[in-house]
Amino acid sequence: MNLLLRNALLINEGKRFKADVLIEGERIKRITSPPTPLSTREVELLPSPCGEGSGVRIDASGLLLLPGVIDDQVHFREPGLTHKGDIHSESRAAVAGGITSFMDMPNTVPQTITVEALNDKFELASKQSMTNYTFFIGATNDNIEELKKDGAKRAAAIKIFMGASTGNMLVDNERSLERIFSEAKHIIAVHCECEKTIAANKARLIKQYGEELDVTFHPQIRNAKACFNSSSHAVELAEKYNTRLHLFHLSTGKEMSLLEVKPLSKKRITAEVCVHHLWFSDEDYAEKGNRIKWNPAIKSRADRDALRQALIDGRIDVVATDHAPHTWEEKQGSCLRAASGGPMVQHSLTAMLELCRQGIFTEELVVEKMAHAPAELFGIKDRGFIREGYYADLVLVNPDACWTVSKDNLLYKCGWSPMEGVTFSHKVEKTFINGRLVYDNGVFDEEYRGNELRLKSYELGG
């Protein structure tokens, strides 16, 4: 079936312009700008856009047309942790948030640390995911030979936890780190927090205040020093071995000194920031409590402002979610007991567009960091841009449709959100995946399943 999107305001590759977009099958057939000057009624009465076969027309007047978001860091919790979330439930929420592709982390049960486990997750996603998908393979202290297998190249990248988090896949043996950085010919993506610094901070605070520390102590335990000590070490290893390194969820202003301002295509070391680190600061713990307890911790307003500036000036390349749902029961208790992480895929794009409305970012920048850059960085074939010949992964957003996040409109399996009570000015109206209208104003094409992301070849050796 052919599909014609009429009179949309495209935001793509640093430009905005009105256009008609013709979709044929899974791909964009033609982009016409300016749009053909026809009234809505005339469009409804016309034959198929291509003059043959069946066709559907959608009047997108007044709506923004964006390339679908590619989220390079999610924890959809399957297999093994499906009481928190699963590939189907969380990809469904992602579709409603304008995310058309995701990259899932390896700290599941069993952990995705073998090629066999990686292939099992791809098979699972082919039956469950409403969006396009790929996965990371995880590093351990002793699985370097597995990471070097040809089958591991199917993964988006190798994930190293250089700081313990949910699932405890900590890689803390220096010889193992050296071997992974020097021998694995793939992108290496890292969670950076220094365990020795965290342990010392924790012991000091417990001695001073006791075991029942509230969440305001979380950024003191996992502080800027813990982050910088680890991320700077990862950068040292990458520079030593000329490794292609991607730094996940940076959270401090100090870490920005590790990054360069230059075109993404010329970088060997790239960086990501998450929506919650751009939206919240430690001033929000009083109201939000454990809802905003993440690893790395949300830190000061100065750190948040430094992250925003680094996103604008190009030191940070990608915006993602680190979507990590837990049950409400798991989020209760003291700072030392409550689980770290929270759901975000349903609200990440609208939150970023809200920051545009506040004058902090531009919509062009949001599109660059949430769609273009992830596609380029990971070498995703024919996605991330609105281009003729590319897959039609598209999102129509109403820029003037105020709505408030509440339990009644949440789609996460865990049933809660740190964004509850927030009113957004933008709303995702329609999400197209591979040319298919999968989400339409609250209605899902429940039978649709996305495709595996195809990754281009990488030259990572030198």
Q: Average pLDDT for residues 343-356, to the nearest whole number?
A: 98
Residue at token pair 């609250």: 442
End-to-end CA distance of the chain: 45
* The predicted structure's pLDDT at residue 326: 98
Q: Average pLDDT for residues 426-454, to the nearest whole number?
A: 98
- Convert 47-76 to b/e letters by CB count within 10 Å (16 or more is b): eebeeeeebebbbbeebbbbbbbbbbbbbb
Query: With 80 as the cut, is the pLDDT of residue 49 above it?
Result: no
Rounded distance between C-alpha atoms, residue 91 and residue 86, angstroms: 8
Per-residue model confidence as pLDDT tens digits over 154-190: 999 999 998 655 555 889 899 999 999 999 989 999 9
Q: Average pLDDT for residues 414-439, to the nearest whole number?
A: 98
Query: With 60 as the cut, is the pLDDT of residue 135 above it?
Result: yes
* The predicted structure's pLDDT at residue 55: 75
Per-residue model confidence as pLDDT tens digits over 231-256: 999 999 999 999 999 999 999 999 99
Rounded distance between C-alpha atoms, residue 174 and residue 162, angstroms: 10
Query: With 50 as the cut, is the pLDDT of residue 43 above it?
Result: no
Annotation: CATH topology of 69-378: TIM Barrel (3.20.20)
* The predicted structure's pLDDT at residue 45: 36
Rounded distance between C-alpha atoms, residue 372 and residue 233, angstroms: 28
Report residue 353: phi and psi, to 5°.
Answer: -70, -30
**Residue pair 437/68 in contact by the 8 Å Cβ criterion:** no
Please choose, from the candidates 403, 441, 445, the residue with its C-alpha nearest in 3D space to the C-alpha of residue 425.
403
Please, which pLDDT band fits residue 80 given cuts at 50, 70 and 90? very high
Residue spans in the chain of domains classed CATH 2.30.40.10? 2-65+387-401+423-444
Compute the Cα dihedral for 295, 298, 304, 308 and give only its sign: positive
Q: Which CATH architecture has domain 2-65+387-401+423-444?
A: Roll (2.30)
Provide CB contacts within 8 A for 204, sequence distance 6+: none
Q: Average pLDDT for residues 424-444, to the nearest whole number?
A: 98
* The predicted structure's pLDDT at residue 116: 98
Rounded distance between C-alpha atoms, residue 189 and residue 187, angstroms: 6
Per-residue CA distances from 406 to 128, 232, 253 (Å): 26, 40, 32
Provide CB contacts within 8 A for 51, sequence distance 6+: none
DSSP codes joined into one string, 40-80: HHHHHHS--TTSSS-EEEEE-TT-EEEEPEEEEEE---TTT
Query: With 50 as the cut, is the pLDDT of residue 195 above it?
Result: yes
If you average pLDDT over every residue of the chain, what do you get?
94
**Residue pair 251/277 in contact by the 8 Å Cβ criterion:** yes
Of the listed ranges 82-96, 156-170, 345-359, 399-413, the least confidently predicted one is 156-170
Please, which pLDDT band fits residue 451 given cuts at 50, 70 and 90? very high
Please, which pLDDT band fits residue 258 given cuts at 50, 70 and 90? very high
Residue spans in the chain of domains classed CATH 3.20.20.140? 69-378
Residue bearing the bigger pLDDT, 346 or 40: 346
Angle, alpha carbons 184-190-192 (nearest 5°): 140
Query: With 60 as the cut, is the pLDDT of residue 308 above it?
Result: yes
Residues tagged active-site: 322
Angle, alpha carbons 157-161-163 (nearest 5°): 155
* The predicted structure's pLDDT at residue 165: 55
Computed on alpha carbons and rounded to an integer, the radius of gyration of the chain in Å comes to 22
* The predicted structure's pLDDT at residue 50: 38
Please choose, from the candidates 242, 104, 240, the residue with its C-alpha nearest in 3D space to the C-alpha of residue 174.
240
